[in-house]
Amino acid sequence: MPNPNPLPHRRYGAGGPPLVLIHGFGADRLSMGSLARALSARREVIAFDLPGHGAAVEWDETPNAVVCAKAMLASLDAMGIGRAVITGHSLGGAVASLAAMRRPDLVERLVLLAPGGFGPQMNAALLRRYAAISTEAEASDVLKSFFGPASRMPPALPRQTAEQRNQPGVRDMLKRIVTTISKGEGQGVLPLADLAAAGFPITLIWGTQDEVLPVAQSIAAPAEMARHILPGVGHMPHIEAPELVVRIIANALGERA
């Protein structure tokens, strides 16, 4: 199947420059559904599948963050979107950042949830296990490390993750992607000074108990970036603390939550 343009997506709500949601590694646009529905009362929300994920699992090359950013920008151009708030989680945060640096004219604001690329440390071993999940029991065991110790994992998530991994081509593609995005046992680092100087506001949301990407990367980020550090939250703030994340995003947009 040729690479789709625009990327597979779902639109929620209407009105105003859209808010674009970009999911993390191993997820898809459905994982952002609750956040999208909550924010769609304020403006249109568009949730995409990244290359190699969801309905875009069949991709002509093994996508890294740069490939994903180019595909995201091509999709927004194909959809006639000239201005947007871009919100990305984990890998999606790195994709959002790269896309924004390529096209700062497009970006009203960045909101980044535990984004990739903010420091060399990354739990690559955990991501390899996450990519290789084949059973619900494996999913339950691996996903515990994505949530803070006091957070409640959605009961259906292990089953849904195992079912997704067992769809044709998904597990093999994710294994290739995690190899591509890893630098040894860590990750590549974005030019954060350039990102901070690009001319749009940036908001970081990060959990103190993140075992995938350490919260210290948020603390070390350029001072121009606003930070919201969530006590007790792991790598999934939009799932662990959804109401708080919606309030933070609404406040960043200058709207009442």
Please report the domains of the chain, with CATH numbers, ordered by start residue: 9-121+188-252 (3.40.50.1820)
Q: For residues 244 and 257, what is the distance between their CA atoms, to the nearest angstrom?
A: 9
Question: For 54-62, what is the mean pLDDT?
Answer: 93
SS3 state of residue 45? strand
163: number of Cβ within 10 Å: 13
3-state SS of 87-142 is EEECHHHHHHHHHHHHCHHHEEEEEEECCCCCCCECCHHHHHHHHCCCCHHHHHHH
Q: Per-residue confidence at 78, pLDDT binned at 50, 70, 90? A: very high
Residue among 69, 52, 138 nearest 103 (CA):
69
C-alpha span between 10 and 230 (Å, rounded): 28
Question: Mean per-residue pLDDT for 143-158?
Answer: 96
Tokens 């009362």, residue located: 41
The residue that leads in pLDDT, 16 or 216, is 216
Per-residue pLDDT at 79 exceeds 60: yes
pTM of this structure = 0.96
The answer, yes or no, to whether residue 256 has pLDDT greater than 80, is no
Residues 6+ apart with CB under 8 A from 125: 185
| Per-residue pLDDT reduced to its tens digit, 161-184 | 999 999 999 999 999 999 999 988
From the CB of residue 199, how many other CB atoms can be counted at a distance below 10 Å? Answer: 9
Neighbours of 256 (CB within 10 A): 8
Average pLDDT over residues 133-150: 97
Tell me the pLDDT of the chain averaged across its residues: 95
H-run or E-run covering 202: strand 202-207
What angle (nearest 5°) sits at the alpha carbon of residue 146, between those of residues 140 and 150?
Answer: 90
Phi, psi (degrees; rounded to nearest 5) at 128: -65, -40
Answer whether residue 257 shows pLDDT above 70. Answer: no
**Cα 88 from chain centroid (whole Å):** 4
Q: What are phi and psi of 18, to 5 degrees?
A: -70, 160
Between CA 31 and CA 92 the distance in angstroms is 12
The rounded percent of the chain whose pLDDT value lies above 90 is 91
